[in-house]
Amino acid sequence: MKDFPSIPTAPRALPLIGHVVPLLRDPLAFLNSLPALGELVRVRLGPLSMIVICDPELTRRALLDDRVFDKGGPLYDRLREVIGDGVVSCPHQAHRRLRRLSQPAFHQARLPDYARAMTGCVQETTDSWSPGQVLDVPAEMMTTSSRIITATLFSDALPSTAHGRLTDDVTTVVKSLYQRMFLIPPLDRLPTPGNRAHLAARARLHGTVERVIAERRADGADYGDLLSALVAAHDPEDDRPGMSGAEITDTVVSFVLAGIESTAATLSSALDLVARHPEVEQALHAEVDAVLGGAPATHADLPRLPLTERVITETLRLRPPGWFFTRVVTADTQLGGHLLPAGTSVAYSPYLIHHRPDIYPDPEAFSPDRWAAPHPQPPRHAFLPFAAGARKCIGDSFSMIEATLALATIAARWRLEHVPGHRGRLAAAVTLELRDLRMRARPRTSVPAAALRSPEGAP
């Protein structure tokens, strides 16, 4: 066991299991307590040590040096069981090529088409609501975000029955991954209900994706979707053809896992936070009324929805869905004056950085206006919902567009109110998500007729 004599250890480690209890019971409070101890803090997971980076500048340095701080450590060891060596989890050596091959799928020129599909999926959700209906908001947002990923990845290739199953399988896999990080072998292989559900969902998810890919490769047509872009991709810096079948499968499963739950969690949190802050709600309604006049939002509307975007940005600060990530050190290195030998597990946390009061005054307050003048803006590397450097989220623009369009489209027609007793509970699994959030959908009647825009979408 590495003991890192110069790095403080978090208090209250239990013999044998270390800090597993606070990490499972209240990981957010535990993380927020660490910066008081130092820039780097040692946390124990059973016999293993993990170094948590608590300082934004050191976090940036680790993220920018992705050769030395490579994907690995407890989270990625578990993720690899699901997504193999796809672009999310592959080591540095394989990453540049996979990223070059995946990048065209997210080219700026493709975004307006994706945006059209996104708005269609959000409308499908909101059209199914009736006045006064109580909504299970996280489930509604999971279905919407899952429809969006499948519409933009596969066009309409997935039958609706398979779509529901895919959403359930993603939910099961994502929910079990965090607990599996702390399951020391052979506990992860015991036939417990949790392990069995995880393995079955993982196998079905792969089966669904492999079937769609096989059909698409046999067909060969360009559907203008993410999958067509992956199938067609070739790397000018490499004489091999594009991705192998296995690489495409791992990449698609990665997009499905990385893209559905994170955006759904962002949207559920945004709807919850807006409803808790009437002054923000009023301002949001005023903006969408003026710009959309009750119509769904389009890609062209985005520049005129700055407050809607700030609400999403502030939601991503306060409750970043990706709140904790691990790395492994591949060569002896120094960080913050401490020696980290090769093999050290390191973690960084957007949540921890976003809640530091020295960077974000009153960090627990939901305040979208902190992102507008005259408020001083935080240093760029202190806002990390999509990470930074070469491993930065490939879907960052995609999901900002998705979340902004979805929030505006919902707010244009509906006001959501909390249902007493079901006001949502923040849970830190692999993503930071809300559980038990039920809200009553009230149609908005105050959309001013004068604000209704002309049919062709002119303001």
Separation between Cα atoms, residue 339 and residue 349, nearest integer Å: 20
Query: Which residues within the stretch 91-130 sit at the binding site for ligand HEM (CB under 6 A)?
Result: 99
Q: Which residue has the tokens 């692999």?
A: 430
441, β-bridge pairs: 416
**Residues 253-292: x where in contact with ligand HEM by CB under 6 A, - otherwise, as a string:** -xx--xx--xx--x--------------------------
# binding residues, ligand HEM (CB under 6 A): 22
Q: Which stretch binds ligand HEM (CB under 6 A): 192-200, 235-243, 385-393, 451-459?
A: 385-393
- Of the two residues 318 and 447, which places its CB atom closer to ligand HEM in the complex? 318
- Of the two residues 69 and 414, which places its CB atom closer to ligand HEM in the complex? 69
Separation between Cα atoms, residue 296 and residue 223, nearest integer Å: 24
Q: Which residue has the tokens 């993720």?
A: 79
> Which two tokens mark 179?
């607990």
Q: Which stretch binds ligand HEM (CB under 6 A): 169-177, 214-222, 357-365, 381-389?
A: 381-389
> Of 22, 38, 73, 385, which lies in the binding site for ligand HEM, with binding defined by CB under 6 A?
385
> Which two tokens mark 135?
């909504």
- Of the two residues 83 and 291, which places its CB atom closer to ligand HEM in the complex? 83
Query: Counting beta carbons within 10 angstroms of the beta carbon of residue 334, is it exposed (0 to 12), middle (13 to 18) or buried (19 or more)?
Result: exposed
**Residues 194-233: x where in contact with ligand HEM by CB under 6 A, - otherwise, as a string:** ----------------------------------------
Give the other-Cβ count within 10 Å of 14's Cβ.
Answer: 11
Q: How far is the CB of 255 from ligand HEM (least distance, A)?
A: 4
> Of 228, 349, 399, 409, which lies in the binding site for ligand HEM, with binding defined by CB under 6 A?
399
Q: Which residue has the tokens 């980290």?
A: 340
- Of the two residues 92 and 423, which places its CB atom closer to ligand HEM in the complex? 92
> Which two tokens mark 236?
């000018």
Q: How far is the CB of 250 from ligand HEM (least distance, A)?
A: 10
Q: Which stretch binds ligand HEM (CB under 6 A): 28-36, 230-238, 367-375, 392-400?
A: 392-400
- Of the two residues 230 and 447, which places its CB atom closer to ligand HEM in the complex? 230
Q: How far is the CB of 339 from ligand HEM (least distance, A)?
A: 23
**Taking CB positions, which residue lies at the least distance from ligand HEM?**
395
Query: Which residues within the stretch 313-372 sit at the binding site for ligand HEM (CB under 6 A)?
Result: 321-322, 325
- Of the two residues 178 and 386, which places its CB atom closer to ligand HEM in the complex? 386
Considering only CA atoms, which of 22, 48, 52 is closest in space to residue 36? 52
Query: Which residues within the stretch 34-93 sit at the binding site for ligand HEM (CB under 6 A)?
Result: 87-88
Phi-psi label, residue 389: left if phi above 0, alpha if psi -120 to 50, beta otherwise: left
The binding site for ligand HEM (CB under 6 A) comprises 87-88, 99, 254-255, 258-259, 262-263, 266, 321-322, 325, 385-387, 391, 393-395, 398-399
